[in-house]
Amino acid sequence: MKQIVDFIKQTFNTNEFIPLHEPRFIGNEKKYLNDCIDSTFVSSVGKYVDEFEKKFASFVGSRYAIATVNGTAALHVGLVLADVKSGDEVLTQPLTFIATCNAISYCGAKPIFVDVDHETMGMSPESVKKFLEINCEVIENKCVNKTTGKTIKACVPMHTFGHPCKIKEIKDVCDEWHIVLVEDSAESLGSYYKNKHTGTFGKIGAFSFNGNKIITSGGGGVIVTDDEVLAKRAKHITTTAKIPHPYEYVHDEIGYNYRLPNINAALLVAQLESLDSFLQSKRELAQSYKEFFVKQNIDFIEEPKESQSNYWLQAVLLKDKQQRDEFLEFTNKNGVMTRPIWRLMNELEMFKDCQSTELKNAKYLEERVVNIPSSVRV
């Protein structure tokens, strides 16, 4: 264990505490922030919001991008755009951050948990297909759960730690069963599956710019889509559903105050300019980790086949839960922050009664995966 701590400290060239993931502000952040402050447009109106949306859409290859206050808000609105309503059901994975299931719950819907693939740590298309074939039928172009009588309206896979799941295969299953695909791409900016950027396979994708993400504005999120109607509605309902007018305040539906402030967008425009160098740094770090951990007989988690991962959070796979716990205790006591993967969603009190498939892979990974320091090195 000491060898591991020493290597990580050497890798980051410090004997100080090493966090799991800290942001880097090495470009035009202060310049754009000062410009934003000088303009006085620091709230939801300003040039940086428009500029960020345009540049982000161009980077990922979507027609439209709509900035939001955080990634959870982006995913929530994505599900609203997919017409997920109270009483509906949504397929998702149990191995994910809580925001995925929170967004589903905000709509009054209930998650159904399917297993993940061992290789990707993301939703298994085979598990989705098996669940649907056993439990569901299509009635009037709707996927109906024969067990509950509810409509399965959407499917939300998540690209774990930036490693793409088999999203094209998941989309094919969803299309066959008349289920809307909404991608939780919170962690996968800069990741590609079969040469296509994550978040652009489904009708809607959602990204996050929380303080620990590969680019950040302290918070922030974005919705991406190729559908002009959905894009316009996303912008409308994330800005309180106010009908445009020079001075009157008239709102035509229940909306959300999910607008990204211009001052945050200024940070994101600058961060986007550094994204390519951030991605390169993370790939170099991943290679260093891979070469080191193979000598320790510890599995380093690499990008899946047919994928290009952003390696947002680097991770290792320990042999069992005991070794995982020993690894966590030793590293954290010795100034290197590490953390286990999330507790499975179906094991949390609020989701214990949700329907699920056999979750063999998810449980295996939960007991063994540990994140290790992943910050961009400059």
Does this model's pTM top 0.85? yes
- For residue 205, what pLDDT band results from cuts at 50, 70 and 90? very high
- At residue 67, what is the residue type? A
| β-strand pairing of 152-156 with 89-92 | parallel
Cα separation, 198 vs 309, whole angstroms? 10
Residue 110 has pLDDT above 90, yes or no: yes
Q: What percent of the chain has pLDDT over 70?
A: 100
Q: What percent of the chain has pLDDT over 90?
A: 99
pLDDT, position 45: 86
Q: What is the CATH number that goes with domain 29-272?
A: 3.40.640.10
* Closest to 167 in 3D by CA, of 142, 192, 141: 192
pLDDT, position 44: 82
Residue 71 has pLDDT above 90, yes or no: yes
pLDDT, position 168: 98
Give the CA dihedral 17, 22, 23, 24, nearest 10 degrees. 40
Q: Tens of pLDDT along 121-161?
A: 999 999 999 999 999 999 999 999 999 999 999 999 999 99
* Closest to 371 in 3D by CA, of 335, 321, 318: 318
* Average pLDDT rounded to a whole number, residues 233-255: 96
Question: Which distant-in-sequence residues (6+ apart) come within 8 Å of 108 by Cβ?
Answer: 85, 86, 87, 88
Q: Tens of pLDDT along 336-368?
A: 999 999 999 999 999 999 999 999 999 999 999
Q: Tens of pLDDT along 269-309?
A: 999 999 999 999 999 999 999 999 999 999 999 999 999 99
pLDDT, position 2: 94
Average pLDDT, rounded, for the chain: 97
Return the DSSP state at 350: G
Q: Tens of pLDDT along 313-335?
A: 999 999 999 999 999 999 999 99
User: Domain ranges in the chain?
Assistant: 29-272
pLDDT, position 378: 82
Residue 215 has pLDDT above 90, yes or no: yes
Give one DSSP letter per residue of 143-184, joined into a string.
EEETTT--BEEEEE-B-GGG----HHHHHHHHHHTT-EEEEE
